[in-house]
Amino acid sequence: MAKVPAPVTVVTTRLDGAPRGATVSSLASLSMNPPLVSIALIEGSTLLNSIRSSKRFAINLLGHRQAEIALQFAARSDDRFAGVSWHWQDDLPKLSGVAGFIACDLHQEVSGGDHAMLFGLIRAAHHNDELPLIYTAREFGTNSKLVAGRKFTIADAISACAS
């Protein structure tokens, strides 16, 4: 699975007026109607317990220059927000300079082995032109080659297969 590219995010929530957050690379789009996304968090994590209490979370899609922030939020620390620029948006912590921000209500939780899959009902979403940070083959990177390369639409791909 290490070779499967994954978006790098910092999932945040607010609990007792304080920000909480951790690096998460399990973001997936789930549904358009209703608008749902999914993330997976390890059982027993502080962030999972915080989201269970707050019933809300945000997904900060890190920009391609934010690998250090990903490492900071992945490390064990009492204050992962130390030295990081952020503010409240939609009553949830939003990190500065992120490529995208999705505010969710906790819609559903499903147990999956040693992780819990959380389905978030999207309440607000914002993005900019920043390339997202991705993680693959145990390295951070971006999809800049894909963005700069030749584009195929799904219709083009289907036509190529049919001919």
CATH code where residue 156 lies: 2.30.110.10
Low-confidence ranges of the chain (pLDDT < 50): none
Residue 1 lies in a domain: no
Report the first-to-last Cα separation within the chain, whole angstroms: 33
Range of the domain at 75: 6-161
| Cβ atoms < 10 Å from Cβ of 62 | 28
Q: How many structural domains comprise the chain? A: 1
Specify the pLDDT at position 2: 79
Both tokens of 139, joined, read 């390295």
Dist CA 142 CA 64 (whole Å): 6
Q: How far is CA 112 from the centre of its chain?
A: 19
pTM: 0.87
* Tokens 């607010």 sit on residue: 14
Dist CA 81 CA 119 (whole Å): 25
* Tokens 């940070």 sit on residue: 133
Specify the pLDDT at position 155: 62
Specify the pLDDT at position 72: 97
Specify the pLDDT at position 143: 73
Residue 69 lies in a domain: yes
Dist CA 132 CA 161 (whole Å): 30
Specify the pLDDT at position 141: 85
